């Protein structure tokens, strides 16, 4: 399947799940696309910039990030995209804090710094998908784009249905859809795009489980990062699944009651 067909995949998934958001493609590039602007021009947080592109639209069809264009971006996000080295301070900032690290300010997302180290070790090294990471709506994907994964934003009902379709042709009831620990940008980008060496290659990643983005993300919106190969399977399974064959179950008329 050619990468240009991801514009069709995005359109099909959007229609099937009745999304009011733009499906996004995570791509790699060796040159800056002519239609792209630095990601930090939308927001310093990669996940928030993506959500804004998907839910409210932007004036540009593509965002990019790279080793030579990362000013203004979240330092932690740059680590999880493979464009910066991880500082030892992160293990304290993410967990319990330490007086000499950022004045003792901490996020309290892990019980102790050793657990932060263990999670980073499990995720493994992160390799960018090219000289540049490019994120664009699926409808703008061209032959020149190397699509690594998709990211879909939706309501809880829409995301539940998406997760159910991922499970459609799987025997394992546990691993096809994962709600991973880590920053929102890892859930939406580096895990599903195969950039993190330890991320399961055949799973979708639902979340985020990162409460630090709650002030900037709509409270009724979730996202799911889907590897390109998994998205292809979803399209192949769509017509045989509940989404097409039992649409009143997938999309009940809540106003009419049961």
Q: What is the pLDDT of residues 162-202, one digit of tens each?
A: 999 999 999 999 999 999 999 999 999 999 999 999 999 99
Please give the average per-residue pLDDT across 83-98, as a whole number: 94
Structure tokens given for 241: 């699944």
- Cβ contact 143:171 at 8 Å: no
Q: What is the pLDDT of residues 179-189, one digit of tens each?
A: 999 999 999 99
- What's the pLDDT band for 255 if we cut at 50, 70, 90? low
pTM for the complete prediction?
A: 0.94
CA geometry: angle 52, 56, 57, nearest 5 deg: 85
Q: What is the pLDDT of residues 212-234, one digit of tens each?
A: 999 999 999 999 999 999 999 99
pLDDT of 3 higher than 70: no
Please give the average per-residue pLDDT across 80-104, as a whole number: 94
- Cβ contact 196:206 at 8 Å: no
Phi, psi of 88 (to 5 degrees): -65, -20
Q: What is the pLDDT of residue 50?
A: 96
Task: Scan for tokens 């932007």, then name that residue.
Answer: 58
DSSP 124-176: --B--SSSEEEEEEGGG--TT-EEEEEEEEE-HHHHHHHHHHHHTT-S-SSSS
Q: What is the pLDDT of residue 257?
A: 47
Structure tokens given for 35: 């239609």
Residues of the chain with pLDDT > 70, as a percent, come to 97
pLDDT of 31 higher than 90: yes
Q: What is the mean pLDDT of the chain?
A: 94
| Distance (Å, whole) CA 48 – CA 27 | 18
């Amino acid at each position: 399947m050619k990468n240009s067909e991801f514009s069709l995949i995005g359109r099909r998934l959007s229609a099937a799940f009745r999304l009011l958001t733009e499906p996004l493609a995570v791509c790699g590039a060796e040159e800056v696309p002519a239609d792209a602007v630095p990601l930090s021009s939308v927001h310093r947080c990669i996940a928030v910039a993506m959500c804004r592109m998907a839910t409210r639209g932007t004036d540009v069809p593509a965002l990019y990030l790279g080793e030579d264009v990362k000013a203004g971006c979240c330092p932690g996000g740059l680590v999880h995209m493979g464009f910066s080295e991880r500082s030892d301070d992160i293990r304290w900032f993410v967990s319990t804090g330490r007086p000499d690290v950022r004045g003792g300010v901490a996020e309290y997302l892990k019980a102790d710094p050793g657990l932060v180290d263990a999670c980073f070790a499990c995720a493994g090294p992160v390799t960018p998908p090219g000289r540049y990471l490019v994120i664009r709506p699926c409808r703008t994907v061209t032959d020149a784009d190397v699509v690594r994964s998709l990211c879909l934003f939706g309501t809880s009902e829409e995301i539940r249905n998406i997760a159910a379709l991922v499970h459609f042709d799987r025997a394992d009831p546990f691993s096809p859809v994962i709600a991973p620990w880590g920053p929102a940008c890892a859930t939406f980008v580096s895990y599903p795009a195969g950039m993190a060496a330890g991320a399961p290659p055949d799973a979708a990643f639902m979340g985020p489980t990162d409460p630090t983005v709650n002030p900037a993300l709509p409270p009724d919106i979730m996202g799911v990062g889907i590897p390109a190969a998994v998205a292809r399977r979803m399209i192949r399974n769509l017509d045989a699944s509940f989404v097409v064959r039992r649409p009143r179950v997938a999309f009940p008329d809540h106003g009419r009651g049961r």
